[in-house]
Amino acid sequence: MAREIPYIAAVQEAIRLEMERDDTVVFYGQDVAPSDEDPLVQAFGRNRVRVSPISETAEIGMAVGLALSGYRPIVELLMAEFMLVAMNQVVNEAPRLRYMSGGQVKVPAVFKAGYGFTAGWAGQHTGSIYGMFMGFPGLKIALPATPADAKGLMASAVRDDNPVCYLINYLLVLEHGDVPEGEYVVPFGEAAIRRTGSDVTIVATGWTVGRALAAAETLAGEGIQAEVIDPRTLNPLDTATILSSVEKTGRLVIVDQGTRHGGASAVIAAEVAEHGFGTLKAPIAQVTALDVTVPYSEPMEAYVLPNEEKIAGTVRQVLGEAPVAA
Amino acid sequence: MQELDNDRLVWMFTQMLRIREFEERVKRTFEEHPGVIRGHTHLADGAEASIVGSLATLQPGDQLLATYRCHGYPITLGTDTKAIMAEIYGRKDGLCGGYGGSMHLADPGRGFLGTSGIVGQGIPQATGAAWGAQLRNQGQIVLGFFGDGASKQGAFHESLNLASLWKLPIVYVMENNGYNVATQSEQEDANAAAGEPLSVKAKAYSMPGVTVDGGDPVAVYEAVGAAGDRARAGDGPTLIESKVYRLSAHGNIIAPPGVPLHYPEHEAITVFGNREEYEAALRGDPVPRFRARLIEQGALEAGRADEIAQEVHDELDAAVQFALDSPYPEPEAAARVDYVYA
């Protein structure tokens, strides 16, 4: 049975369910349950639910140590940029320890954080920085775009035996959607086809999935049928589903809130250029954030980010229609 | 903490000899088998008493994490020296299959969860493992090893704060060898510059801080053992400053391929021109010091000590030969997906 709940409630529900089914799951972070009246503290006790100081290196490093000693920590890091403070633990410790030990150890840890809070939070709290994590083999990346995926991908993240960056877009947290009750697991590495279409493939991530679907509706009114694919996880990346869609449509527009260079969009473009070039009828197009720091003032912030108009305009261009000013 | 009987004292002496002989063989490999060891190695000669005295306190289920200067811990825990040497030689039969090398040994089955090659970064991991021990609630503890240089890292301070706040069962063992690579402690540590021991850092985190002669394995055993008892009782962490003198340079020289690698002289000589400091350290070498003490107190006969030395010599002969004979890994083993992802 599904019922409509907000995205943020779906995340919390998944954490509670995973803590119920597995005693080794612990949850902690800055401002996590400071009150003993917190429902998670009431349910699982202070051993497994703790509030930690502003010490990202210790928080993330301790997650690595907990994981090495048989636990499944979920660290609440609030904002993805705070991971930068402890970058060594995120990218140079957690994902490398298994490989360097010759497969002797595993590091099942979830680094949970928000990203893309483009609501006037300016340059240091609005980034969509996950693209850089794609360069670290061993580190998985989940970007849930719907309340149901927020629940199902958290369940997978906790159960995964590897470190996972589980990143929620802050602009989505109050959006409602159907979420199955009880145990619900969305496997990593399986893209979702959010809308089927035959004229163009739009691959969109995280918050931009909804923007791409809205653009697709507009385009449908013009007789253009767009297929919208949400990879759901960037590592593992379901290139097979993307390539199969491009084989059908012959055209690809990639939409991502991150920057263009060194980002998720560039990786997807390269995969399709290498493995699907023969099926393309037009050059691959990318709709990403501009390669600038996100500015504070609203009109500038909007100018930098992808939106429905930019997506629709780019699709029209790819289909050979008249260019539309970005 | 258990009393150290003669058998245990002789066991400790034997482990110290094994570490010393192992490190000597690593160093000699650069001369005797040029090109066999690639990259960077860091030796524990001089720190044997501190390592063995610390690990002698371990009980079943205890765990430890260490730094890139890591050969001595698995040797003491009983990991086969053949596998450790083969790892350093980059061979298929290495402890980590040739994936890690000298800086990244791990033997989780013996409680050795691994190392970090980045200064200070193993400290929070050891702290997290201690939270795991607290959750298991079976009286187990974690030993976290690091150098004096790491105590200038945020990771150290963040971890000690949290461990004390949460009364985690961990003993932080700082092996203070007086040098950050080539910089002396007084040049980069406010406590050292003020003439205070580095263990005073514990005061900032409301935990006991103890400075001990890291050249005396019994003193280390007693200090780490008392801290371990405290941790097992749920009373929280302790910072131990174990003062050692490393008898080799920080590591072998770092050079691009084609330049033969070797160990230069200690930084006291090469950087500070102070040969007397180094020679005084040699005169106080913990290994012969402990041998003489055991013989003097009747725990060990000189003849038996020589036999042990011969056994250790033979063991390491075999380890070097095994490592030389072991094949290299197949190149495509580098792409093993099951090692990248569990």
The CATH number of the domain holding residue B253 is 3.40.50.970
User: CB distance A65–B121 less than 8 Å?
Assistant: no
On whether residue B96 sits in a domain, the answer given is yes
Helix, strand, coil fractions of chain A, as percent rounded to 5: 40, 20, 40
Q: How far is A249 from chain B (nearest CA, A)?
A: 32
d(CA B146, CA B280): 24
B257 pLDDT band, cuts 50/70/90, is confident
The domain that holds A245 is classified in CATH as 3.40.50.920
Q: How far is residue B189 from each of residues A254, B201, B249, measured CA to CA in Å?
A: 52, 11, 20
Q: Is residue A29 part of a domain?
A: yes
Which residues span the domain enclosing A283? 192-318
> Are A136 and A196 part of one and the same domain?
no
pLDDT at A321: 60
Specify whether the CB–CB gap between B99 and A102 falls below 8 A.
yes
Position A211 in a domain: yes
Is the pLDDT assigned to residue A326 strictly greater than 70?
A: no
- Chain pair A-B, CB pairs under 8 angstroms: 146
B342 within domain boundaries:
no
pLDDT over 90 at B1, yes or no? no
Q: How many structural domains compose chain A?
A: 2
Q: Is the pLDDT of residue A324 over 50?
A: no
Total domains, chain B: 1
Interface test with chain B among A24, A27, A48, A57, by most B beta carbons within 10 Å? A57
Give the residue-averaged pLDDT of A137-147: 98
**Residue A199 and residue A87 in one domain:** no
Question: Would B335 be classed as within a structural domain?
Answer: no
Judged against a pLDDT cut of 50, whether residue A323 lies above it is answered with no
When CB atoms are compared, the residue of A92, A100, A106 closest to B342 is A106
pLDDT-derived band at B142, boundaries 50, 70, 90: very high
| Closest alpha carbon within chain B to A100 | B100
Note the ipTM here.
Answer: 0.96
Quick check: is A69 in a domain?
yes
For B291-329, write each residue's pLDDT tens digit.
999 999 999 999 999 999 999 999 999 999 999 999 999
Residues of A with a known catalytic role: 125
Question: Which residues are paired to A169 by β-bridges?
Answer: A115
A186: in domain = no
CA B58 to chain CA centroid, nearest Å: 14
Whether the per-residue pLDDT at A313 is higher than 70: the answer is yes
Cis peptide before A236 (omega within 30 of 0): yes
Closest Cα in chain A to B103:
A100
User: Residue B258: what pLDDT?
Assistant: 85
Which whole number is the average pLDDT over B183-198?
97
Residues A160 and A208 occupy one common structural domain:
no
Residue A10 sits in a domain of what CATH number? 3.40.50.970
Are A161 and A26 in the same domain?
yes
Residues of B (85-144) whose Cβ lies below 8 Å from A: 94-100, 104, 106-108, 113-114, 116, 118, 121, 123-135, 142
Contact criterion met (CB < 8 Å) for B118 and A88: yes
Q: CA B254, CA B37: separation in Å to the nearest integer?
A: 12
DSSP state of A111: E
Domain-located, residue B340? no
**How many Å apart are CA B83 and CA B87, to the nearest integer?**
6
Q: Do A151 and A271 fall within a single domain?
A: no
**Whole-prediction pTM value?**
0.96
Query: Residue A183 pLDDT more than 50?
Result: yes
Chain B nearest-CA distance from A65, in A, is 4
Q: Are A301 and A257 within 8 A, CB to CB?
A: no
Indicate if A24 and A169 belong to the same structural domain.
yes
pLDDT, one tens digit per residue, over A72-120 is: 999 999 999 999 999 999 999 999 999 999 999 999 999 999 999 999 9
Round the CA-based radius of gyration of chain B to a whole number and report it. 20
| Minimum distance, in Å, between the CA of residue A85 and any CA atom of chain B | 10
Residue A314 lies in a domain: yes
Asked if the model's pLDDT at residue A16 lies above 70, the reply is yes
> Given CB atoms, is A162 within the 8 Å cutoff of chain B?
yes
Residue with tokens 């959607």: A177
**What interhelical angle do B48-55 and B217-232 show, nearest 10?**
30
The sign of the torsion formed by the CA atoms of B176, B178, B183, B185 equals: positive
* A22 touches B: beta carbon within 8 Å: no
Q: Last residue of some domain: A180, A213, A246? A: A180
A156 and A65, same structural domain? yes
Q: Enumerate the residues of chain A whose CB falls inside 8 A of the CB of residue B88.
A: none
Q: Alpha helix locations (H) across chain B?
A: 6-32, 48-55, 72-77, 81-88, 122-136, 154-165, 185-188, 190-193, 217-232, 267-270, 275-283, 286-296, 302-325, 337-340
Q: B114, A65: Cβ pair inside 8 Å?
A: no
Among residues A160, A180, A200, which one ends one of the domains?
A180
Interatomic CA distance for residues A307 and A256, integer angstroms: 10
At A1 the pLDDT is: 83
3-state secondary structure A127-176: CCCHHHHCCCCCCEEECCCCHHHHHHHHHHHHHCCCCEEEEEEHHHCCCE
- Is A27 among the domain residues? yes
Amino acid at A171: L
Q: Are residues A167 and A228 in the same domain?
A: no
Q: Which of B99, B158, B338 sits opposite A57 (nearest CB)?
A: B158
Q: Which amino acid is it at B187?
A: Q
Question: Among partner residues A57, A73, A102, which is closest to B96 by beta-carbon distance?
Answer: A102
Rounded mean pLDDT, A169-177: 96
State whether A171 and A90 are in the same domain: yes
Specify whether the CB–CB gap between A100 and B100 falls below 8 A.
yes
CB contact under 8 A, A58 and B336: no
Are A69 and B166 a contacting pair at CB < 8 A? no
Residues B68-91 have a mean pLDDT of: 98
Residues A113, A162, single domain; the answer is yes
Q: Do A50 and A88 sit in the same domain of this protein? A: yes
The answer to whether position A223 is within a domain reads: yes
Q: Are B43 and B265 in contact (CB under 8 A)?
A: no
Contacts of A105 in chain B (CB under 8 A): 106, 108, 113-114
- The answer to whether the CB of B329 falls within 8 A of the CB of B100 is no
b/e B18-29 (16+ beta carbons within 10 angstroms → b) = bbbbbbebbbeb
Mutate to test the interface with A, among B96, B103, B104, B158 (most CBs of A within 10 A): B158
Report yes or no on B53 lying in a domain: yes
Cα distance between the two ends of chain A = 43
Q: At B277, is the pLDDT very low, low, confident or very high (cuts 50, 70, 90)?
A: very high
pLDDT at B17: 98
Q: Indicate whether A205 belongs to any domain.
A: yes
Same domain, A161 and A220: no
CA distance B24 to B16: 12
Q: Which CA distances in Å does B26 have to B81, B82, B250, B255? A: 12, 12, 14, 17
> Which residues constitute the domain of residue B231?
6-330
User: Cβ of B166 under 8 Å from any chain A Cβ?
Assistant: yes
Average per-residue pLDDT in chain A? 96
Tell me, yes or no, whether B120 lies in a domain. yes
